[in-house]
A = this chain, B = another copy of it.
Amino acid sequence: MQGLTQRQQMVLDFIRESITDRGYPPTLREIGARMGIRSTNGVNDHLRALERKGYLKREDMKSRALRPTSTGELPGGDALANLPSLPANDDDFVEVQIVGRVAAGLPVLAEEHVIDTVKIDRGLLRGGREVFGLRVQGDSMIDAGILAGDYLFVKKQLTASRGDIVVALIGDEATVKYYYPEKDYVRFQPANKTMAPILVRAADFRPTMLLGLVVGVYRKV
C-alpha cells in the first residue's frame, strides 16, 4: 500500500500536533502512550513505514528528531480537521507587511525592512489596504494596553485627530505615542507615567513625521 494506513496517519498527525502545540516533536514513547502501543518497537515500525513512504525524515540516534515532510500534508479524515474550510476567498483578507526597524529617510515599506507578511481578516482591520505592521519595542504605551513585542497595525496617513495613537518619526526612529497638537508645538504623549512627553515645535513639525494611525494591536501570549 503506497498511501498511509489509518494507524500510520494517526502517528503522523500526532507528530504534527506535537510540533504545533508544544514546539518540538514527540519521543517514541510519547507516541506509544498516545496510540496505546506499549512497545517502542511497535512505534518504530510505524516511523519506519512513514519514512519509507516519504512522509517523514529522521536522524539516527537523536531524540525527537522527527520531521514531517510537506508530502501529503492534507489532513486525512479526522473529524476535526476538515470542517467547512473552503478555498479561502482572497477578498476577505488584507495582506499586511510587517516591517522591522523604521528609520528616517527611508520609505516605510522599503524592501529590506519587510521581515514578515501576514494576512488579516478584513473584518478585524479598519483601513483596508494602506496598512502595515510593526513590532513594539519598549513599553512607553503600557497604560494603553500596548506592550513590548506586540504587533501594531498602522494605517498610513499624514494627519491624525487629537488623542489618536500614532506612529511618528521622531529624531531618527519610529515611535508610538498619543498625538496632541497644541498651539505652539505638537506633544507626543507616552502612556506611561514614568515617561515625559516629547515636544516638537510647530515650526519644526512636518506631516512626513506622521507615519500613520494605529488601527489594531495583536499580541501572541
Which A residues have a C-beta under 8 Å from some C-beta of B?
17, 19-25, 27, 63-67, 70-75, 80-83, 85-86, 88, 91-93, 95, 100, 115-121, 123-130, 135, 137, 142, 145-151, 165, 214-221
Q: List 17 A-B contacts (CB under 8 A).
A: A20-B126, A20-B128, A22-B67, A23-B66, A63-B63, A64-B64, A74-B100, A74-B149, A75-B100, A83-B95, A85-B115, A92-B119, A118-B123, A119-B121, A124-B220, A216-B219, A218-B219
Inter-chain contact B121/A165, CB cutoff 8 Å = no
| A137 closest partner in B (C-beta) | B74
CB distance from A147 to the nearest CB of B (A): 5
How far does the alpha carbon of A55 sit from the alpha carbon of B221 in the complex, in Å? 12
Q: A145-B219, A149-B72 are in contact. Are A24 and B123 (CB under 8 A)?
A: no
Q: A17-B128, A121-B119, A135-B74 are in contact. Are A95 and B85 (CB under 8 A)?
A: yes
Leading 8 A-B pairs by shortest Cβ distance = A70-B220, A23-B67, A63-B63, A118-B121, A217-B219, A20-B128, A88-B91, A145-B145
CB distance from A152 to the nearest CB of B (A): 9
| A123 closest partner in B (C-beta) | B118
How far does the alpha carbon of A217 sit from the alpha carbon of B27 in the complex, in Å? 32
Inter-chain contact B149/A70, CB cutoff 8 Å = yes
CB distance from A135 to the nearest CB of B (A): 6
CB distance from A210 to the nearest CB of B (A): 15
Inter-chain contact B119/A93, CB cutoff 8 Å = yes
Inter-chain contact B22/A24, CB cutoff 8 Å = no
| A150 closest partner in B (C-beta) | B145
Q: CB-CB < 8 A to A149: which residues of B?
A: 70-74
Q: CB-CB < 8 A to A121: which residues of B?
A: 118-120
CB distance from A83 to the nearest CB of B (A): 8
How far does the alpha carbon of A71 sit from the alpha carbon of B136 in the complex, in Å? 11
Inter-chain contact B24/A67, CB cutoff 8 Å = yes
Inter-chain contact B82/A115, CB cutoff 8 Å = yes
How far does the alpha carbon of A182 sit from the alpha carbon of B178 in the complex, in Å? 41
